């Protein structure tokens, strides 16, 4: 717990709200590479004030993103409610990547789900079975090629959102173009080529390790 059970004083509550708002902007721009010093500067408070409210960067990230990751749970539920598995899968891909392309922090948080069990574990327990069912449904109807699985999703996300970052926010057509190319490649067809060995959890962990900056858990000394 990073907060006591007592209500915050009005000025302390205002500072907490300013810190969370500044953290949203800092992490949206820089992802998990943003620091508590970045947040303090954007909030217009001393870094000591940030540490009093959130003694570690991990605590701030969890406070900021736990609820926002629930939006991804709702998105997966919406995908399962669509008429076909293919509709659900492609809607989930487009909307998820759209969200992550404009918010690097949310992208980093989502890629951590299911990889580092210490972060967002409860959300991951809800989200991953839903996403698996989105894939299973598309497989059962024969619309998704049989050699693509849930372990391919984080790599697709990392690839397209990294392209979005490098192409700049003023050129969204670039990453959307390549997302549609990937979606076309996911569709089952008699002409599908051999993809080679399946993507493993170890592959995902290694790639996410390189794509997402580590969360510094050390308290300020």
Annotate 29-54 with DSSP letters as a single string.
HHGGG--HHHHHHHHTS-HHHHHHH-
Give Cβ neighbours of residue 108 (< 8 Å, ≥ 6 apart): 27, 31, 32, 212, 213
Q: What is the pLDDT of residues 102-160, one digit of tens each?
A: 899 999 988 887 665 566 777 788 899 999 999 999 999 999 999 999 999 999 999 99
**DSSP percent split of the chain into helix, strand, coil, nearest 5:** 70, 0, 30
> Which band of pLDDT confidence, cut at 50, 70 and 90, is reported for residue 97?
very high
User: Given its phi and psi angles, is residue 31 left (phi above 0), alpha (psi -120 to 50 degrees) or beta?
Assistant: left
pLDDT the model gives residue 103: 92
Token pair listed for 25: 């902007």
Token pair listed for 161: 């959102």
Q: Is 69 exposed, middle or buried (0-12, 13-18, 19+ CB in 10 A)?
A: buried
Token pair listed for 177: 């173009």
pLDDT the model gives residue 20: 93
Per-residue pLDDT for 169 more than 50?
yes
Query: What pTM was estimated for this model as a whole?
Result: 0.84
């Amino acid at each position: 717990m990073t907060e006591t059970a007592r209500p915050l004083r009005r000025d302390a509550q205002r500072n907490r709200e300013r810190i969370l708002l500044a953290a949203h902007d800092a992490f949206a721009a820089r992802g998990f590479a943003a620091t508590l010093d970045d947040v303090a500067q954007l909030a217009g408070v001393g870094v000591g004030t940030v540490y009093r409210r959130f003694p570690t960067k991990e605590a701030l990230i969890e406070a900021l993103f736990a609820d926002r990751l629930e939006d991804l749970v709702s998105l997966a539920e919406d995908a399962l409610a669509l008429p076909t598995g293919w509709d659900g899968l492609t809607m989930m891909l487009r909307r998820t990547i759209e969200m992550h392309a404009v918010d690097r922090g949310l992208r980093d948080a989502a890629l951590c789900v299911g990889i580092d069990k210490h972060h967002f574990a409860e959300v991951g327990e809800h989200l991953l079975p839903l996403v698996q069912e989105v894939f299973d449904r598309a497989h059962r109807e024969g619309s998704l090629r049989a050699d693509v699985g849930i372990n391919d999703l984080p790599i697709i996300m990392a690839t397209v959102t990294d392209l979005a970052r490098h192409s700049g926010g003023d050129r969204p057509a670039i990453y959307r173009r390549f997302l549609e190319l990937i979606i076309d490649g996911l569709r089952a067809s008699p002409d599908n080529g051999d993809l080679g060995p399946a993507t493993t959890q170890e592959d995902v962990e290694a790639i996410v390790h390189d794509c997402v900056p580590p969360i510094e858990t050390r308290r300020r000394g």
